[in-house]
Amino acid sequence: MKAIPHLPCLRLGKPYRSLNQSEVIDYRSGEIRATLSQINPGIIRKDLTKINSARDALQKFSTTELLNICKKAGDSFLHDHLPLGENGALQGPRDYVDTLSSTSGLPHVMVRKNMEKIHFALSNMKLILNGLTRGLDLEVLDLGYGEQSGSPVCFHPTTKALGLVMPSNSPAVNSLWLPAIPLKMPVIMKPGKDEPWTPFRLMQAFISAGCPAEAFGFYPTDHEGAADILRLCDRALIFGDKSTTDQYAGNPGVQVHGPGFSKILIGDDEIENWPDYIDLMISSISENGGRSCINASAILVPKYAREIADALGQKLGPVQPLPMDDEGAVLSGFANPKMAEWIDSAIEEDLRVPGAYEATAPYRDGTRLVQTEGGVYLRPTIVACDSIDHPLANREFLCPFASVVEVPQAQMLDCIGPTLVVSAITKDESFKRELLIDSRIERLNIGPIPTMKISWDQPHEGNLFEFLYKRRSIGMAA
Amino acid sequence: MASKNQINEAVLKLDNHVAEIIHWHFSEETGSPFWLQWAKEQNWNPLNEIRTFQDLCNKFPYFKDEWLRDLPNEAWVPKAYQHRPFNIFETGGTTGMPKQRIGWDDFRTDYSEFSTTLNDEHFPRNHYWMMVGPTGPRRLRLAIEHLANERGCSCFFVDLDPRWVKRLISTQQFDQARAYMDHVVEQALTILKHRKVSALFTTPKLLEALAERRDLVQAGIKGVFCGGTTMDRQYARFLMEEVCEGGKIGFVPTYGNTLMGLARHRPFGSENDYSITYHAPQPRAVLRVVDSQSGNPVEYDQWGRVELTTLTKEFFMPKFLERDEAIRRKPWEEAPWDGVAEIRPFGAMEKKIVEGVY
Cβ within 8 Å, pair A40-B243: no
Name residue A214's beta-bridge partners: none
**pLDDT at residue B353 in the model:** 45
Q: CA-CA distance, A369 to A360, in Å (whole number)?
A: 13
Residue among A42, A49, A227 whose CB faces B238 most closely:
A42
Residue among A16, A19, A232 with most chain B CBs within 10 A, to mutate: A19
> Sorting pLDDT into bands at 50, 70 and 90, what band is B93?
low
Q: CA-CA distance, A94 to A82, in Å (whole number)?
A: 12
What mean pLDDT do residues B311-335 have?
96
Q: CA-CA distance, B20 to B238, in Å (whole number)?
A: 43
What class has domain A6-258+461-471? alpha beta
Q: CA-CA distance, A292 to A200, in Å (whole number)?
A: 21
Which backbone phi and psi does B150 adopt, to 5 degrees?
Answer: -55, -30
Which backbone phi and psi does A99 adopt, to 5 degrees?
Answer: -70, -45
Long-range contacts of A363-370 (CB under 8 A, 24+ apart): A363/A313, A363/A314, A363/A316, A363/A317, A363/A318, A364/A317, A364/A318, A365/A318, A368/A344, A369/A340, A369/A341, A369/A344, A370/A320, A370/A321
pLDDT at A477 > cutoff 90: no
Give the residue on A whose Cα is nearest the Cα of B237: A19
Length of chain A: 478
B343 to chain A, closest Cα gap in Å: 15
Identity of the residue numbered A123? S
Q: CA-CA distance, B263 to B276, in Å (whole number)?
A: 11
Among B43, B57, B55, B17, CA closest to B297: B57
pLDDT at B29 > cutoff 80: yes
**pLDDT at residue A45 in the model:** 96
**Domain edges within chain A:** 6-258+461-471, 262-446
Which residues lie below 8 Å from residue A224, measured CB to CB, with a gap of 6+? A41
Identity of the residue numbered A403? S
Among A182, A200, A190, CA closest to A225: A190
Element holding A217 (H helix, E strand): strand A216-218
A470 to chain B, closest Cα gap in Å: 27
A251 CB near a chain B CB, below 8 Å? Answer: no
What mean pLDDT do residues B350-354 have?
50
What mean pLDDT do residues A402-430 have?
95
pLDDT tens per residue, range A31-57:
999 999 999 999 999 999 999 999 999
Which backbone phi and psi does B158 adopt, to 5 degrees?
Answer: -125, 120
pLDDT at A212 > cutoff 90: yes
**pLDDT at residue B348 in the model:** 65
**pLDDT at residue B73 in the model:** 96
pLDDT tens per residue, range B38-77:
999 999 999 999 999 999 999 999 999 899 999 999 999 9
Q: CA-CA distance, B315 to B286, in Å (whole number)?
A: 13
Helix, strand or coil, per DSSP, at residue B224: strand
Size of the A and B interface in Cβ pairs below 8 Å: 29
* Percent share of chain A, pLDDT over 90: 84
> Sorting pLDDT into bands at 50, 70 and 90, what band is B355?
very low
Q: CA-CA distance, A187 to A35, in Å (whole number)?
A: 22
Helix, strand or coil, per DSSP, at residue A19: coil
Cβ within 8 Å, pair A45-B212: yes
DSSP state letters, B273-335: TT--EEE--TTTEEEEEE-TTT-SBPPTT-EEEEEEEEE-SS-EEEEEEEEEEEEEE--BTTB
Evaluate whether B209 touches B185 at the Cβ level (below 8 Å). Answer: yes
**pLDDT at residue B153 in the model:** 98
Q: CA-CA distance, A305 to B320, in Å (whole number)?
A: 67
Which residues lie below 8 Å from residue B347, measured CB to CB, with a gap of 6+? B325, B353
Q: CA-CA distance, B227 to B321, in Å (whole number)?
A: 19
Evaluate whether A175 touches A237 at the Cβ level (below 8 Å). Answer: no
Q: A336: burial class by Cβ within 10 Å (0-12, 13-18, 19+)?
A: middle
pLDDT tens per residue, range B160-215:
998 999 899 889 898 899 999 999 999 999 999 999 999 999 999 999 999 999 99
Q: CA-CA distance, A357 to A318, in Å (whole number)?
A: 17
> Sorting pLDDT into bands at 50, 70 and 90, what band is A457?
confident
Q: Is the Cα torsion angle A200, A204, A205, A206 positive or negative in sign?
A: positive
B233 to chain A, closest Cα gap in Å: 6
DSSP state letters, A413-446: HHH--SEEEEEEE---HHHHHHHHT-TTEEEEEE
H helical segments located in B161-295:
162-170, 174-194, 204-213, 233-238
Helix, strand or coil, per DSSP, at residue A97: helix
Tell me which chain B residues have a C-beta less than 8 angstroms from the C-beta of A38. 234
**pLDDT at residue B124 in the model:** 96
Q: CA-CA distance, A143 to A167, in Å (whole number)?
A: 35
B268 CB near a chain A CB, below 8 Å? Answer: no
Evaluate whether A190 touches A229 at the Cβ level (below 8 Å). Answer: yes
Among B165, B153, B161, CA closest to B137: B161
Residue among B169, B214, B229, B235 with most chain A CBs within 10 A, to mutate: B235
> Sorting pLDDT into bands at 50, 70 and 90, what band is B350?
low
In a 13 Å sphere around the CA of A309, the CA atoms on its Cβ side amount to 28
A3 CB near a chain B CB, below 8 Å? Answer: no
Name residue B316's beta-bridge partners: B311
A17 CB near a chain B CB, below 8 Å? Answer: no
Among A3, A191, A222, CA closest to A100: A191
Q: CA-CA distance, A248 to B207, in Å (whole number)?
A: 29
The domain covering A262-446 belongs, at the CATH homologous superfamily level, to Aldehyde Dehydrogenase; Chain A, domain 2 (3.40.309.10)
In a 13 Å sphere around the CA of A23, the CA atoms on its Cβ side amount to 8
pLDDT at A362 > cutoff 50: yes
Residue among A40, A49, A227 whose CB faces B238 most closely:
A40
How does DSSP classify residue A192?
A: B
**pLDDT at residue B352 in the model:** 47
Average pLDDT, chain B: 93
> Sorting pLDDT into bands at 50, 70 and 90, what band is A140?
very high
> Sorting pLDDT into bands at 50, 70 and 90, what band is A462?
confident
Q: B187: burial class by Cβ within 10 Å (0-12, 13-18, 19+)?
A: middle
CA distances in angstroms from A225 to A40, A201, A229, B353, listed in the order given: 7, 22, 6, 16
pLDDT at A375 > cutoff 50: yes
Give the residue on A whose Cα is nearest the Cα of B235: A40
Which backbone phi and psi does A310 adopt, to 5 degrees?
Answer: -65, -40
Predicted structure pTM score: 0.89
What mean pLDDT do residues A131-156 have?
92
Buried b (16+ CB within 10 A) or exposed e, B118-157: beeebbbeebbbbbbbbbeebbbbbbbbbbbbbbebebbb
Torsion of CA B28, B33, B34, B36, to 10 degrees: 20
pLDDT tens per residue, range A89-124:
899 999 999 999 999 899 999 999 999 999 999 999
pLDDT at B19 > cutoff 70: yes
Among B252, B280, B321, B227, CA closest to B110: B280
Evaluate whether A262 touches A286 at the Cβ level (below 8 Å). Answer: no
Average pLDDT, chain A: 94
Q: Quote helix, strand, coil % in chain B, to nearest 5.
A: 35, 25, 40
Residue among A19, A46, A49 whose CB faces B233 most closely:
A19
Q: A257: burial class by Cβ within 10 Å (0-12, 13-18, 19+)?
A: buried
Return the ∠ at Cα A161 (arms to A159 and A162), rounded to 5°.
100
Length of chain B: 358
Which residues lie below 8 Å from residue B110, measured CB to CB, with a gap of 6+? B143, B261, B262, B281, B284
**pLDDT at residue B95 in the model:** 67
**ipTM score assigned to the predicted complex:** 0.86
A17 to chain B, closest Cα gap in Å: 10
Q: CA-CA distance, A167 to A193, in Å (whole number)?
A: 8
> Sorting pLDDT into bands at 50, 70 and 90, what band is B12?
very high
